[in-house]
Amino acid sequence: MSDIAVRTPFFDCATSFVGALCSAEATGFYGVDRPGVAWEWMRQTGQAPSGADWVRPLVAEAWTRCIDDHVLPVGVDFAPRQRPPEHCAPDASRRGAIGVIASHLSAMVYDLRSLLDAADVALLLADPSGRVIHLLDSGPEICIGADWREACIGNNGVGTAGLLREPVAFDGKEHFSVALHRFATAGCPISCPDGAVGAIVGMISARRDAAKMMLGFLKLARSLLESSLFERLSCGGYLLRLRPGDGDSRYPVDGRLFVAADGCVQGVDRAGLEVLGAGDPAAFVGRDANAAIGVDPRSLTVASETGELVTLVARGGHAVRAEVHRTAKREDGTSGSSSAAVGAPSPRPGALDGDWSDGVLEAALRKATGLQERNISILITGESGVGKDHLVRRLHACGPRKDRPLVAINCAAIPRELIESELFGYEGGSFTGARAKGKSGKFVEADKGVLFLDEIGDMALDLQATLLRVLDSSEVTPIGSSKPIRVDVRVVAATNRSLQEMVQKGAFRRDLYYRLNGVQLRLPPLRERSDRLWLIAHLFRLEQEALGVDEALRFDDDVWRIFDRHPWPGNIREARNVLRSSIAVARGRVIAIDDLPVDFLQELNVDAPSGGDAFPGMAPDTVPGAEESGATPLDLSGWEARAVRFALASSNGNIAKAARSLGITRATLYHKMARYGLRSDRRIVSKR
């Protein structure tokens, strides 16, 4: 972990949180497993316990709701099920807020990746209805689209937080559902400036003692995320910083209130509500500033120019002084007059036009700024096809060595016996088949530049030791030579495998892992990205330009719905292949479902000609092949296993064809087949 990351306050708090989590004992909220006894009593009697003798009031009330309001049977294993997006899509005014929250959440946890891994904690983002829309792949596996509503699976940190609109956490058998008894769950609603819930941030851990500490972590994250949302809203109007009179120590932080250019109050933060003596933003938001806070909107213009304080009338009639700052409109021209202006455009298929920037890529680039100058190694992680090579090219293009060479080598694509000579070079005639003049090797070619070691997890152990010596000494010795060559190389490594797991299994050297992992940048898979439709729309425009399409094409609405639900096992690489194929076979300006590649549709056994409802419900008992792959709603790897099986089956065991359909190399496909116990034999693959 980089020393840059360690200096951030959020990282310091998170480090303390994880340290406490890893050292805590599994004693639960009460120090003993009293909820376990209470749950067994409830299972036998069918009634929730009353009073706080054995469970907290929060738990007793939740169990009562589960039995009386939700009519859930006691003792049943309610695992989160998939829920199609159209059944729970937030209104347009909330979609932008979700995009902003997801983007900032991703940026915040880049520094925390290894800490979350160590604590076995999964961090997720759900929409206000409790459907998972974004996650960071650590700890217990949670799938995109899973429904965590309390009414469906009983009380849990995510669903109950959304229902109560307040931070909550549950521990082990405090959960109503048996499926959650081995977890601790916590959730915290993130409020928009107008008071509505924009999203729910949740944490799931297999450590049952983690609930209270996760809750504290989420409250800290909430303050940062809500502050980011408020900053996005506060444009094209007046930002009022509230300062309570007489130095009142009850308010250590200034509150903020935003008035749009038309004089209407559009937002107030938590500290602002406290200063103004109100518990609900509805007391101010949407009302004229004169009626809501006793301030003539025209006086705000004068105050912003002169620096004079204005006086607000708070609840109860007491006065509050406020600084007034004029805020400019954003570059996109929006004024911030409604929550709909917050964040990215609506993900409706017809609203994907306009400017878009890749927030995930930009966050990674910001994090990597200056690291190459300080010779800090960068490790990029993520599944095959997420764009690791593209990120490396961007890092090189904007880095201090942009005028020097960028040399890439795929450690998985080069035969074991040749990779050493490729990396370090050889003297002429040093072995049979060697060039007479020898070969310089990638390290020498990258001198004064950047060396990209792709798929570093596939390097043999003995070569890992040699690579470590080269990285430490900055010297390479070609095969057949005894004279070392001094090199000045900045190394960037990438892998689609978990090097931490490989280290634990002895398949990867621990010392090399720490040498390469100066700073880790994780690129999430396409299925985890809440902005995947905008990314696909952006790629679609680029592919049309590259293919020289004269007349702009567009996708049918049903195609966009498939794109939104698809697991995308091949990620961005697969998306580009699908887009190229669709453009090539398009018969008109509108690309329909039957224009999509057959193998792409077969990944979830969608019947292209029928155009029916694709992937209805996504429940494991309705998804073809779910029983075969052993996938459950909490198993993201099941998507990939099914995709590989379908590709092999549809290609009749042809490895090259299957790899092309998935948008991956044959070497990567072989690794995935080994991981899931698959062979190229048609009978083994299909299991039919």
Lowest mean pLDDT segment, chosen from 259-268, 498-507, 515-524, 671-680: 671-680
pLDDT of residue 426: 86
Separation CA 204–CA 179 (nearest Å): 13
Which of the residue ranges 12-26, 425-439, 519-533 would you say has the lowest mean pLDDT? 12-26
Q: How many residues does the chain have?
A: 688
Lowest pLDDT segment from 42-56, 178-192, 365-379, 495-509: 365-379
State how far the Cα of 447 lies from the Cα of 573, in Å rounded to an integer: 30
Residue type, 14: A
**What's the pLDDT band for 58 if we cut at 50, 70, 90?**
very high
pLDDT value, residue 116? 62
Q: Mean pLDDT throughout 559-571?
A: 87
DSSP 53-85: SSS-HHHHHHHHIIIIIS-PPTT-----EE--G
H-run or E-run covering 544:
helix 532-546
CATH topology of domain 527-686: Helicase, Ruva Protein; domain 3 (1.10.8)
C-beta neighbour count of 40 within 10 angstroms: 12
Across 101-123, average pLDDT: 62
Q: What are phi and psi of 123, to 5 degrees?
A: -110, 130
Reported in sequence order, the residue ranges of 383-473 that DSSP labels E, i.e. its strands, are 406-410, 450-454
Q: Coil, strand, or helix at residue 485?
A: strand
> For position 447, what pLDDT does the model report?
92
Give the CATH architecture of domain 237-327. 2-Layer Sandwich (3.30)
Does the pLDDT at position 631 exceed 50?
Answer: no
Given a contact cutoff of 8 angstroms between Cβ atoms, the answer to whether 289 and 310 are in contact is no
SS3 per-residue string spanning 108-150:
HHHHHHHHHHHHCEEEEEECCCCEEEEEECCCCCCCCCEECCH
Q: Which amino acid is at 370?
A: G
Q: Characterize the bridge pairing of strands 519-522 and 378-381.
A: parallel
- Asked if residues 623 and 81 have their Cβ atoms less than 8 Å apart, the reply is no
* CATH superfamily of this structure's domain 3-219: GAF domain (3.30.450.40)
Q: What are residue 380's DSSP bridge partners?
A: 494, 521
pLDDT of amino acid 386: 92
Cβ-contact 342, 297 below 8 angstroms: no
Which range, of 200-204, 318-322, 452-456, 501-505, averages the lowest pLDDT? 318-322
User: What pLDDT, on the 0 to 100 scale, is given for residue 452?
Assistant: 94
Beta-carbon contacts of 205 under 8 Å, excluding residues fewer than 6 positions away, are 21, 119, 120, 121, 122, 139, 140, 183, 184, 185, 214
Angle between helices 637-650 and 666-675 (to 10 degrees): 120
- What is the tens place of the pLDDT at every residue in 496-515? 998 988 999 999 999 999 99
pLDDT of residue 485: 92
Q: How far apart are CA 555 and CA 348, in angstroms?
A: 12
pLDDT at 449 over 60: yes
Burial track 221-254 (b if 16+ CB lie within 10 A, e otherwise): bbbebbebbbbbbbbbbbbbbbbbeeeeeebeeb
Pick from 97-106, 342-351, 416-425: least confident: 342-351
Are the CB atoms for 205 and 22 separated by under 8 Å?
A: no
**Domain boundaries in the chain?**
3-219, 237-327, 360-522, 527-686
Identify the bridge partners of residue 185 per DSSP, sorted by sequence position: 170, 204
Report pLDDT digits (tens) over 575-590: 999 999 899 888 888 9
Superfamily of domain 360-522: P-loop containing nucleotide triphosphate hydrolases (3.40.50.300)
Q: Cα(63)–Cα(74) distance, rounded to whole angstroms? A: 9
Where is 185: in which H helix or E strand? strand 184-191
Is residue 304 within a helix (H) or strand (E), and if so which, with residue range? helix 297-306
- Give Cα 677 to chain centroid, integer Å: 28
Three-state DSSP at 186 gives strand
**Is-same-fold flag (3-219; 237-327)?**
yes
d(CA 459, CA 381): 15
pLDDT at 639: 58
Residue identified by tokens 């500290």 is: 271
Average pLDDT score over residue span 427-446: 79
Q: CA 476, CA 483: separation in Å to the nearest integer?
A: 9
What is the maximum span of the chain, computed from C-alpha positions, in angstroms? Answer: 92
Give the tens place of pLDDT for each residue, 273-301. Answer: 888 888 778 888 888 888 888 888 888 98
Note the pLDDT tens digit of each residue in 128-153.
Answer: 888 887 776 555 557 777 889 999 99
